[in-house]
Each structure stands twice: as structure tokens, then as C-alpha cells.
Amino acid sequence: MRRTAAAAVSVVAALVLVILAPAANASPHVLRVGTYKGVPGQFSSIQAAVNAAGPGDWILVGPGDYKTSSISRPRGRSDLPAGVLITKTGLYLRGMDRNKVIVDGTRPGASSCSRTTGGQNFGPRGAKGPLGLNGILVWKARNVWVQNLTACNFLSGSGDTGNEIWWNGGDHTGRVGGFGYYGSYLNATTSYYNPKRSAAAAQYGIFSSNWSGGTWKNTYASNFSDSGYYIGACQQLCNQTIDGAKAEFNSLGYSGSNSGGALVVKNSEWDQNSDGFDTNSQNGDNPPPQNGACPNHGISPITHTHSCWVLMNNYIHDNNNPNVPGAGAAGDVAVGTGVSVFGGRNDTLMRNRIVRNNAWGALLAVFPDSGPPCTGGTLNFTFLIKIGCLYDQWGNAILNNSFRNNGSDGHATNGDIAASNFEGGHPTSCFSGNTDSAAAGVTTSPANLQQTNPTCNGTLAPASPNLPFVLEQLCSNLGAVAGLQIPCPGGHPYPKRTSVIMHPLPRGLPSMPNPCAGVPANPWCPGRRSQVTPPPGLG
């Protein structure tokens, strides 16, 4: 039976609430770690409490610096060592103070989140050297909540590591294997970076992969060599929301490979990164491409179009920082970019404030990758050079954003918006309602995009390589991704890293107003249990 779009949205919303609601447990237990207000708990380590908990139980953690005293790994995944491993459905892990409960990747005996090389825990040994460590790893466990704590200094190595808080539904499987989560009042950071050991850096702060359904709210991430936030490998099934995030001093504030469908990022701040916000298609975290189209030809209740991937109401500013950790392709980003969509399709950027990004406020561009495989891309495409796998961008909408003071690096295409597409025959991207209070108005490359491409109506666009824009990307750090490095036009280079500066956490990041809310009565939270309201899964 055919349902109306409104009915379909209602059904989806109901399903999301079911997914995100905590697991039913008639008599949930409360397991306490450490000491809170002078009252000791039953456990001294978080992992011991997790091991003792059952589905639907609560784990409360008192203020303290919790080092990794033992290593846990998912069954069959020796490459995923973690300080805290959660495999049980519906578990609540909550610190009693966001800034004073520290899940710490440094060695026992080291200072909290130590900056020194001697203080780091590089993880267990593997065949190719230290494996590194993950912090809190939620492995394929539905509806796990992590709240009100800080994770720091879990470093990468020869394993699949370097991630502070990770909801992992089965990375490298090409399938979605995790469903539902909630993370709030979280800090993820690292204090350690050694250019002589750059492979042993913290890569990602708050991370989900191969997952569908979830919300992060009121969170902070800084100093990561790849990105502060990452959502990837969820195809068009993401159904995730980021609300009230702040990312700074990262290579990328946000990165999202092959993540699409219903994904909403709103009310957040992205600043002091090399590139503020990036989404892309690529070989890796398969399957590509990154496609923000609503599943099953649905209509987004936000955009009222077929685009369900939405970046809205964010403040994206001053992303001009080359002196951040960097590793791999994320270390080769175009410094000075507010928002970048590389090879992404059917994404919407709307009602954002995008200011003082010295290269481009927002850019839409191709992503050149190696291949095969080249799922969703074009194998052996030739433009200037032979590209093993080309992921082109199309059907993206840049609407009603407020731009100001972007493009001060001064190259010909620098400014508010730049775009290119190498292939013809795909739906046009569109640009409408954007403003810049400068006398010249919104600056675009090619010129006058708001007049030539005002609507995303499915019209098939011709190729528009925008060669000056391509050359300026190649002369930035992005040239390394394509295997090229060319001089910048006019001999004026983009900023390069001179030294890496690691920034401390800001003071006074707000903790949960009442960490006992919703918790069954226990010695730390006496009294009657209040109701827990499941967070919404969509914007």
C-alpha cells in the first residue's frame, strides 16, 4: 500500500524513538565506580563495572583520573584494543562531572592527560609495532548512552586505534551493524603530538561508524590529527544528529566518509581547524558514495526536498589553522576552508554563518581517489592526469547562508563559494538566498552561481571543471591527495604547518545540570527516579 510522505516520516520518527529508547529492564541496577561526595562505589575501574553490568543497567563514575589498567577487545578483532569495551545492549555510562571524570589513555602514574612521551600508553605490541589504543569502544551494542565525561590521549598505532569515544557497528565490513546511541556532555581531546612519531597521534574524538540512529548533544572535540567528529560508513542509513557541538584545533572539525540519508548537523561551532567541516565520497569506510538523498525517494521535513543530509544553523569561522596535528589524507586538507563537500551528492547547507575562512567559505569539488574498487565513482577518469577513481559532486544545495570576510588569501577563486564538476550528465548543484554584507555581495567561482544555478530541479548539468579552482586546490595541501604538488598561481602559497600547538580544554565546559536525572535510587542519587526522555534521532 502506498503511504503519503507525511505518514512515512511519522513512521520513521516513531521507529527512531524506539531505537533510541533505553533497553527495557524491570529492575535496573546501578553500579558505581570511584567515590562521589565522600561515598565510595563498588568498583575502582570502569571496565570492571561494565563487565558486571547487565543490559539496561546504569554505571555511574565519580570524579577521578581513570587510566587504562587492562585491555579489552571485541571477539575476533585483535586490532581493536580498548580501555573500556561495551558490548551489552542498553547500558548507561554516565560520569558525575563532565570535566572531572577523565577516561585517560596515558600510563598509570603519569599526570592526567600527560603531554610527555614517557607518559603515553602506546598500547599492546603487535606484529608491526604498538597497536595503539581506543578509549571507550561501543561494539555493536544497541542503545548505549555515554554521558558527562572526558576522554583523552588514546593514540593510534598499527591497530585500528586512536579514537576516544567510538560507537562501532563493524568497521571494514561494509555493513551497518549498530543501532541507536546517545552521547551528551562529552569532551574528547589529546595533549600529545610528536612530529617524530606522528603515526602515534590521537586521530578521532567522537566517532560513529557502520551505525544507524543516534544523537550527540553538547559535546567538544579538539587537537585530533584526522577529525574531532566523524560519522562514516553508514551509507544512506545514518539517521544521526549532531547538536551543540564545538570542534577546534583539529585537522578537520568534522569528517564524514560515505555517510548519508538522514543526517543533521545543527547549532554547532566549527573554528580554528584547518578545514572546519568536510564530507566526502571515497574508497574506504565502504561502500561509497556519500549520498544525502532521502532513502526510498522520501522528502525531508527540514528541507522539503529529497535531500535529508542537512548542515544547518552552524557558526563556521576562522578555520585557517595549519599548526594542528595531521596524518594521512586529513593532513592534506586545504587550510582556510569553512565547509568542503568532496564527491558528495544531494547534501544541503542552509542558514549557516560562514565567516573569516581565508581560502573558501564553502566549496563543492571532486574527490580523486585510487581504484579499483570504485563503487559509485568513475574508474580511470582523465582530467589533466589519470585519476584511478573519480568521485564527482552533484545535486548539492547551498541555500540562505550568511557569508562574510572569506577568501582573504587572495587567489582568484578564493571567496565565499567555489565549485567544480568534471563530469556532465548529473543533476546540477544549486545556490540561492546566500548573502554577504560586503559591497560586492556573495563571491562565487565560477562567477554569478546564484544567477546561473539557482535551483536544484534535477536538470542535468554539463561538465564545469573550473580549472583555476582546480589548480588552486592542487597547489594547496590537497595536491598531495592527487599525487601532485604544483606552484600556486602568482607564486603565493597557502599556509603550511610550522609547528603543532596542542591546546588545553577550555575552562568551564558545562556539566550535566543533574547527573542523577533518571537514575534509579542509589547511595549517590537517593530519592525517587525521574523519567528519562529519549532524545530525538532526527533534526
Tens digit of each residue's pLDDT (9 = 90 or more) over 466-498: 999 998 988 876 656 556 667 887 767 888 889
The span from the CA of 232 to the CA of 235, in Å, is: 8
pTM of the model: 0.93
Helix, strand, coil share of the chain (percent; to 5): 10, 35, 55
Domain boundaries, the chain: 27-212+509-539
Q: Residue 65 to residues 206, 518, 538: CA-CA distances in angstroms?
A: 19, 25, 34
- Higher-pLDDT residue of 93, 486: 93
| Residue count of the chain | 539
Which residues, 6+ apart, have CB-to-CB distance to 467 below 8 Å? Answer: none
Secondary element (H or E) of residue 534: none
Q: Name residue 307's beta-bridge partners.
A: 293
Reduced to 3 states, what is the DSSP secondary structure of residue 491?
A: helix
Reduced to 3 states, what is the DSSP secondary structure of residue 449?
A: helix
Give yes or no for a contact between 187 and 164, defined as CB atoms under 8 angstroms apart.
no
Given a cut of 60, whether residue 115 has pLDDT beyond it is yes
pLDDT category at 439 given cuts 50, 70, 90 is confident
C-alpha dihedral, 219 to 225 to 231 to 235, nearest 10°: 170
Q: Name residue 511's beta-bridge partners.
A: none
The span from the CA of 538 to the CA of 112, in Å, is: 36
Interval 333-380: pLDDT, tens: 779 999 999 999 999 999 999 999 999 999 999 999 988 889 999 999
Given a cut of 70, whether residue 166 has pLDDT beyond it is yes
Closest CA to 410 of 451, 366, 443: 443
- The secondary structure of residue 328, as a DSSP letter, is G
Cell of 293: 538523498
Question: Mean pLDDT across the stretch 120-126?
Answer: 96
- 181, burial (CB in 10 Å: exposed 0-12, middle 13-18, buried 19+): buried
pLDDT category at 528 given cuts 50, 70, 90 is low
Given a cut of 80, whether residue 419 has pLDDT beyond it is yes
Reduced to 3 states, what is the DSSP secondary structure of residue 332?
A: helix
Q: Give the pLDDT of residue 371.
A: 83
Q: Give the pLDDT of residue 479.
A: 59
Question: Mean pLDDT across the stretch 293-297?
Answer: 94
Burial state string for 521-539 with b = 16 or more CB within 10 A and e = fewer than 16 = ebebbeeeeeeeebbebbb
- Rounded to the nearest angstrom, the gap between the alpha carbon of residue 312 and the centroid of all alpha carbons in its chain is 15
The span from the CA of 335 to the CA of 244, in Å, is: 24
The span from the CA of 60 to the CA of 63, in Å, is: 10
- Please compute, for residue 190, the number of CA atoms within 13 A of its CA located in the half-sphere on the CB side: 39
Which residues, 6+ apart, have CB-to-CB distance to 29 below 8 Å? Answer: 53, 54, 57, 58, 520
